[in-house]
Structure 1
Amino acid sequence: MKKYWIAAMAGFLLFSGTASAQAELKVPAAYIAIGDSLAAGQTPEREIDAGYTDMIAQELSRNQPVGFYSKNLAFPGFTTADVLDSIQSDEAKEMLASANLITVSAGANDLLRLVQGDPAQGSLTFQQIQADFALNEARKNMELILAELTELSPNADVYVMGYYFAYPHVRDSQKSGTAKQLDRLNEILERSAEKAGATFVSVDQSFGDDAVDKVPNAADVHPNAAGYQAMANAFFGEYQKTWTVEDFELPPPNPLTFEQIMEAQEQEGDGGQEEEESEAEETALRPSAGSPTGYLALREALPYL
């Protein structure tokens, strides 16, 4: 498992294309993905696999030199408050200082944890007052996150990822209320990005309200590979319009359960003596290759983004 993750990361870092001649590209790219489980690559089966951030890193490596890629700061279940806390750690500050490209997925968990869904009945319910409060908190925290990134990553171009409608399986009569709240969230994220000089990436048009082909599990809000591909391509629509993640370029499925990830991390923690013996070799690895999962930590799996 360790070999897979190191090999996968090395594959993302290989320069396999020609660099774009456009002046706005920063070469080599040092890409950090932060946020919730969409940034982490959680699947509809609540496993971790290649998500939109991995696809972005892979496509970057096909078109320009990539010096660094990490999704160590992406955690399932994170709210905007959690993301703000995570980027203020010493480890995060050191990593973000070298970044010149950052994507942020944060905000949906502030809202979706308030939505009660019944897959059998195809229904959704939430309290409007609670939703209003959650969205206001998301706005304040996102502004703080982007202000913090301006300080921590002064050379980075920051892209704030929008959200799709996560409940395509419910009855049509049940969609409009929750969809309206997600539209409000996207508006907040877009305004916050503009205020901070960041770029907002809209993904909802790629999904619409009926994207059962991209969100296949009626009991889970996470996308499949096609959904993550759509998100990655929405990013490239803002970053480099001629770059696209094609179907034949999708990484082969290789999901890990949360139990496998935690077990691998525990085994990694027990290998201190072996790591000391190979210290010279380890210095050649990127920080994201330091654990078999590419994470600094993983919290308990949550049924949100």
Structure 2
Amino acid sequence: MKKIWIAALTGFLLFSGSMAAQASVRIPAAYVAIGDSLAAGQTPKRQIDTGYADLIAQELMRNQPVAFYSKNLAFPGFTTEDVLESIQSDEAKEVLASANIITISAGANDLLRLVQNDPKQGSLTFQQRQVDFALNKARENMDLILAKLKENSPDATVYVIGYYFAYPHVRDNQKTGTAKQLDLLNKILKQSAEKVGAVFVSVDQSFGTDAVDKVPNPADVHPNLNGYQAMANAFFSEYQDAWTIQDNELPSLNPLSFEEIIAAQDQEDPKKPEDDKKAEETAARSSDQSLNGYLALRQAIPIS
């Protein structure tokens, strides 16, 4: 796989702030975020910027020593099947073996690729039989993913991030059916997490079904920075409830297009054209055709 930006923070940071005793706090933190575009930090305008994983890493650094942080295993468009495949590579196993905190976002692409959103009409449609099959497959894959993580990352606490209602702009009478399917997905994720002692992080209550302030683009399901803030704070309600990301702690927006990131990757790691083509074909996933052909996308968080 083509070498890409690895959002990793190395070196121990000085401890700052008091810390109440809590079993889930890992010192020093070695944090790896895996999963889909939410873990990668995709914006409502199909760019990459600070996501919930980056905000979690920043808040960890404010409050405790951090050994490293990586979202190198976060790929826009990944389904649970893609995530299962990605964590079994030698590169992934090496990263995961040293992690003691892992967050995972997986399952939404299994479901939402089957939902047809008409932003002009404010309507949602899907075929129930297809959705039932996809949810069952997501359950099977998530069980396998968490089993692999338990095997590859025996010292890590795994946090399974739930999903929010992604269509707040549609008509109210169009929300119920899809909201029910997302509730089922969250139930599946929670059950899978509980089977192996992982922690399920519920985010849906922070959004509700009308969160146009957090999901501002009627034609896109990704949240803005405020939405990612809500997701990160939901994580801290499980990890260390006293820690909260305040509005004045949010970083400035610095979105990069997929083209800009790929160009920067090519500059940092020039290869033969045929090698680049092969790498892009490997990273591309048909589960999200709008992103097909793009590599895994990340943005490094500098130590400050």
The TM-score with structure 1 as length reference comes to 0.86
Task: Specify the SS of the correspondent of 1:72.
Answer: strand
Distance 2:207 2:180 in 1: 15
Q: How far apart are 1:268 and its partner, in Å?
A: 1.1
Distance 1:11 1:212 in 2: 37
Say if 2:8 and 2:68, in contact at 8 Å, map to a contact too: no
Report how many aligned residue pairs link the two structures. Answer: 275
Task: Specify the SS of the correspondent of 2:150.
Answer: helix
Q: How far apart are 1:299 and its partner, in Å?
A: 3.6
1:28 counterpart letter in structure 2: P
- Mapping of 1:57-206 within 5 angstroms? 57-206=57-206
2:31 counterpart letter in structure 1: Y
1:151 counterpart letter in structure 2: E
1:209 counterpart letter in structure 2: T
| Counterpart in the other structure of 2:219 | 219
Say if 2:13 and 2:64, in contact at 8 Å, map to a contact too: no
Q: What do residues 112-139 of structure 1 show as CA deviations (whole Å, max 9, x unaligned)? A: 0000010000000000000000000000
Say if 2:22 and 2:240, in contact at 8 Å, map to a contact too: no
After superposition, the CA RMSD in angstroms is 2.1
Task: Specify the SS of the correspondent of 1:205.
Answer: helix
Q: How far apart are 1:20 and its partner, in Å?
A: 1.9
Say if 1:34 and 1:102, in contact at 8 Å, map to a contact too: yes
1:267 aligns with 2:233: no
| Counterpart in the other structure of 1:17 | 16
Q: How far apart are 1:196 and its partner, in Å?
A: 1.1
Q: CA 1:260–1:11 in structure 2 vs 1: closer, same or farther (change >3 Å)?
A: farther
Q: What do residues 154-197 of structure 1 show as CA deviations (whole Å, max 9, x unaligned)? A: 00000000000000000001000000000000000000000011
Name the one with the larger helix percent.
Answer: 1
Task: Specify the SS of the correspondent of 2:189.
Answer: helix
Structure 2 residues not aligned, in runs of 5+: 272-281, 292-304
Q: CA 1:212–1:90 in structure 2 vs 1: closer, same or farther (change >3 Å)?
A: same
Distance 1:228 1:12 in 2: 26
Say if 2:114 and 2:130, in contact at 8 Å, map to a contact too: yes
Say if 2:10 and 2:69, in contact at 8 Å, map to a contact too: no
Q: What do residues 12-71 of structure 1 show as CA deviations (whole Å, max 9, x unaligned)? A: 974462362415222110000000000000000000000000000000001110001000
Q: CA 1:43–1:302 in structure 2 vs 1: closer, same or farther (change >3 Å)?
A: farther
Q: What do residues 74-101 of structure 1 show as CA deviations (whole Å, max 9, x unaligned)? A: 0000000000000000000000000000
Say if 2:9 and 2:70, in contact at 8 Å, map to a contact too: no
Say if 2:142 and 2:192, in contact at 8 Å, map to a contact too: yes
Task: Specify the SS of the correspondent of 2:268.
Answer: helix
Distance 1:13 1:221 in 2: 36
Distance 2:137 2:11 in 1: 35
Q: CA 1:254–1:113 in structure 2 vs 1: closer, same or farther (change >3 Å)?
A: same
Distance 2:14 2:173 in 1: 49
Identical columns (%): 71
Distance 2:203 2:254 in 1: 25
1:156 counterpart letter in structure 2: A
Say if 1:33 and 1:39, in contact at 8 Å, map to a contact too: yes
Say if 1:76 and 1:302, in contact at 8 Å, map to a contact too: no
| Counterpart in the other structure of 2:28 | 28
2:249 counterpart letter in structure 1: E
The TM-score with structure 2 as length reference comes to 0.86
1:266 counterpart letter in structure 2: D
Distance 1:97 1:151 in 2: 9
